[in-house]
Structure 1
Amino acid sequence: MQKEDLQVKPYAINYGVIFGAYSILMLVLLYAFNYETNTFISIFNFIITVAIVWYAIHIYKIDNGGKLDLTTAIKIGLAIGVIGGLIYGFYTYIHYELVQPEYITEMKSSMEAEMEAQIQQQQMGEEEAKMTRNMSGVFASPFVLGTIGLLSIIFKTFLVGLIVGMIKRNN
């Protein structure tokens, strides 16, 4: 009789919560120290993402008697991304709705100025210009920022799970 693989759920929950908490911590620190995201911070965040997903897959493989297949690694990566991303997305919504609403106001002003410049440059008709102005307001909202954060985290953890799974899988 063949031994069944361990469930992915406990690893996904534990490391997804850790990843979500880390993501929230970074957003709070950036806000508290009035710091803007730059290349160094983006690279650092990606390294931490890789480390969390890699470690979760590594621990799973150890606990599963050294067995790991690519599908399981991808599942772990995606599940961490979904759980961490939901936590982060929810907090992002609250953060930009209650803690830092001025960011949304600044973002809307910036987008409106950019849209007006595009309208002038492309010499749009009144109907086209009106549609362009309406679209700019949609993207500058706490809900959209939270959703974009969720989707980007899911995409990153999927890629990391895929790459780590290809490296650590049993042939």
Structure 2
Amino acid sequence: MEVQQPKTGKFSLNYGLILGGISLVFGVLLYTQDLHTSQSPGIMIFGIVIAAIVTFLGIQAFKKANGGYLSLGEALKIGAGVALISAIVAIIYNLVLVNVLDPDAPSKIMDARLGPALESGEITQEQFDQQKEQSINFWWMGYPIILIFNILIGLVLGLISGLILKKAKPAY
């Protein structure tokens, strides 16, 4: 009787939902503290660290369920899958945020991004207004970018975790 190998998709879904849930809670906390439009690098670093931890735990759980064996390809699949699922949760939250909770969020975010350039004189008020308007008109383009960026980060995290945890099955 042959032992059935676990599926990477199951681990990607479970840990992607865990990461998405943590990100959702973090996003709601930022919203309640009126920090959801902040451009702080600390917030981004915190998100990447949490993603790294959850992805590593997902790959480690797969390795354990797979009899202690893990290929680099399996780690990459899980890393990308976790990132994809969590990105979908993040996009849904963003849609709710900008369409229901805070319809002015895109405007506030663009003010935070472009404000320093305006204050330092790098751009004029006219350029500020034009760039802000264009950015808000094409806000929807951020969703595929979020998806692609998350998957790329997931691949990198999967690669790093896979290199750390990799253990090949014996050839016999």
TM-score, normalised to structure 1, is 0.77
Report the Cα offset of residue 30 of structure 1: 0.8
Q: Residue 123 of structure 2 aligns to a residue in which SS?
A: helix
- Aligned to 2:63, which of 61, 64, 68? 61
Provide the rounded CA distance (Å) in 1 between the counterparts of 2:46 and 2:125. 37
Asked if structure 1 preserves the Cα contact closer than 8 Å seen for 2:107 and 2:132, the reply is: no
Report the Cα offset of residue 104 of structure 1: 1.6
- Aligned to 1:40, which of 26, 39, 42? 42
Counterpart residue number, 2:22: 22
Report the Cα offset of residue 166 of structure 1: 1.2
TM-score, normalised to structure 2, is 0.77
Counterpart residue number, 2:52: 50
Provide the rounded CA distance (Å) in 2 between the counterparts of 1:120 and 1:137. 11
Asked if structure 1 preserves the Cα contact closer than 8 Å seen for 2:110 and 2:132, the reply is: yes
- The answer to which of 38-47 and 76-85 deviates more is 38-47
Task: State the one-letter code of the partner of 1:31.
Answer: Y
Q: Does 1:117 align with 2:114?
A: no
Higher helix share: 1
Q: Calculate percent identity across the aligned residue pairs.
A: 25
Counterpart residue number, 2:149: 152
Gaps of at least 5 residues in structure 1 are 122-132
Asked if structure 1 preserves the Cα contact closer than 8 Å seen for 2:79 and 2:154, the reply is: yes
Q: Residue 55 of structure 2 aligns to a residue in which SS?
A: helix
Gaps of at least 5 residues in structure 2 are none
Q: Residue 54 of structure 2 aligns to a residue in which SS?
A: helix
RMSD, aligned CA: 3.1
Q: 1:139 to 1:151 in 2, by over 3 A?
A: farther
Q: String of CA shifts for 1:121-153, please: whole Å, max 9, x gaps.
A: 9xxxxxxxxxxx5x7645335523333332222
Counterpart residue number, 1:13: 13
